[in-house]
Structure 1
Amino acid sequence: MPLVAPTAVYRFSAGTIAETPDLLAVEEPLEIRLGYGPADDRQQRPLAVTMRTPGHDVELALGFLFTEGIVHARGEILSARHCSREETEKGNVIRVELNPDVQLDWARLDRHGITASNCGVCGKTSIDAIRTSCPAPVSGTFRLDSATLRTLPDQLRTQQQAFAHTGGLHAAAFVGANGQLGPVREDIGRHNALDKLLGIAFWNGNVPVARQAVLVSGRIGFELVQKCWMAGVPMLIALGAPSSLAVDLAREAGITLVGFLRSDRFTLYTHPERVLDAELIAR
């Protein structure tokens, strides 16, 4: 399924209207189903439906399960695949088979239902549940200097292929200590793009993500910080603004939070010591 879809639009410019072709970001539902239980009594149950841009669906499902604290290690996953076309339409269902030893607390998972493409964590009960499942505060020696930080917006822009056509997709990318971008994932939902990215690290056994930062194209809400904390990400960088709850959680999590990143400026909100020349900013 493509990331973009063609349409016809009417453009108004210089006092005239003309019909022209255009491209839209695709949005489709993805249902995540879990297969679980002992080998002689396997059960299947839907967990969540998220509105997403198709592509890298397995990474999305695995990243979602990991960052929500449902699974903690690759060994807990037996398989993850799209259900057959005979079972579903359009390949919009992923079934993740869990190891028989994995115990699920369905009462805690009840908050998962239909998740809009812009939705993350909702409700005090959910926030408290997530805080109790997060690991210890992030530590480590990862650093980025301010000159390197300011190269990232241009790097990301060149990698956002679907965004260039539609203007309607968010992106998330890993950033190495040398300032070079690693994998980039796009989605109509900010949290989906991040789940796709963190799903790569989870499946490759690279969590906690101690030696890379995460760069996102939009704003930072609580749920993005929470996902990065679950994955042990030391630095979360955004082109947009963070919320007050995001800053509070990043401070608690030991995560360096950078917002409003541009080629000539940025704002440090928490743990500035990971920016090598932060002492210059403090003057």
Structure 2
Amino acid sequence: MAVMTTRRAIVRRGVPAPDDLAVEEPLILALDGAPIATLMRTPGHDIELAAGWLNVESGVRTADDVAVLRSCRDDDTDRVHIDLRAGVEPPRPRAFVTSAACGVCSADVVDVTPLRRADPHTPGWTIGSDVLVGLPDAMREQQKAFRRTGAVHAAALADTAGVLHVVREDVGRHNAVDKVVGRALLDGLLPATDHLLVVSGRVSFEIVQKAVAAGVAGIVAVSAPSSLAVDLARKQGLLLAGLVRNGTCNLYAGADLVV
């Protein structure tokens, strides 16, 4: 059982006391036995994290593209061993650690067009504004590690009825998204057409990149997006709602999809 939180002795208001902290540890991804990336993440759902990471970084489109996806612990370090099916484009090796704050540190380009595998929504698809603004609160109710530490991000996959099909937490906002996308990939739910990606943090390039690869209809975020995120969302026809708090939101892209 993965441990997502731990305790350290601190001083609070001048008084020694224990405090809950989010765990951050390295995860090595190995392809055909050779390390290709080290991800700094919160332990838990490592297989999903690897699957979601592969959905953007490689030619993996479905669970059938992966022959082996196995987690283990070697030399006191968590690892996920990956073998891809013949003909599936492998990920590019990364020569350095990917931190919990950076999802695309080694990206050479910002063109997400090759990642688009399906239309994000069916003709006539819309979502009710009342449903949209309630998604972050619904996700917050399932953020157990956040309630204990205040130090982890969350992501969720939601439908137009406001049902959250999967919720994951991690110190890295892009890791939380990868865990959600990885679960959907393993369950055969990609592309996630007509679904929304809900995130607890800001929306920057890598979040839109992952949303496009997952095939979702849009992104709903507690915080604001970057200029590039807005431009990419508009170009890809995604809904992008930011600063979704207290029953209100800003619609940065796809305003016509909200009714």
Please indicate the TM-score interval, normalised by the length of the shorter structure: over 0.9
Structure 2 unaligned segments of length 5 or more: list them. none
CA distance in 2, matches of 1:227, 1:193: 11
Q: Is the 8 A contact 2:27 2:40 kept in 1?
A: yes
Distance 1:168 1:275 in 2: 31
Question: Which residue of 1 is the match for residue 47 of structure 2?
Answer: 58
How many positions carry a matched residue from both structures?
257
Do structure 1's residue 102 and structure 2's residue 88 form an aligned pair? yes
The C-alpha deviation readout for 1:108-135, integer Å capped at 9, x for no partner, is x14563100010223672324x543434
- Specify the code of the residue in structure 2 equivalent to 1:221: S
Q: 1:103 to 1:220 in 2, by over 3 A?
A: closer
Shift of 1:152: 2.0
**Where does structure 1 lack aligned partners over 5 or more consecutive residues?**
36-43, 277-283
2:215 aligned to which of 232, 235, 245: 232
Q: Measured at CA, do residues 150 and 139 of structure 1 come closer, stay the same or move farther in structure 2, by a change above 3 Å?
A: closer
Q: 1:82–1:220: structure 2 CA closer, same or farther, 3 Å change rule?
A: same
Percentage identity across aligned positions?
41
> Which residue number corresponds to residue 215 of structure 1?
198
Q: Report whether the alignment pairs 1:32 with 2:29.
A: yes
Amino acid in structure 2 at the alignment position of 1:132:
P
Larger Rg: 1
Matched, 1:67 2:67: no
Q: Which residue does 1:88 correspond to in 2?
A: 75
Letter in 1 for 2:51: L
Q: 1:181-222 CA distances to partner (integer Å, 9 max, x unpaired)?
A: 221000000000000000011111111101321110111010
The AA in structure 2 aligned to 1:68 is E
CA RMSD of aligned residues (A): 1.8
- What do the CA deviations read for 1:230-279 (whole angstroms, capped 9, x no partner)? 11100100000100011111111111000000123100001112111xxx
Length-normalised TM-score, structure 1: 0.85
Deviates more, 1:53-62 or 1:261-270: 261-270
**Does residue 128 of structure 2 align to residue 145 of structure 1?**
yes
Distance 2:116 2:94 in 1: 17
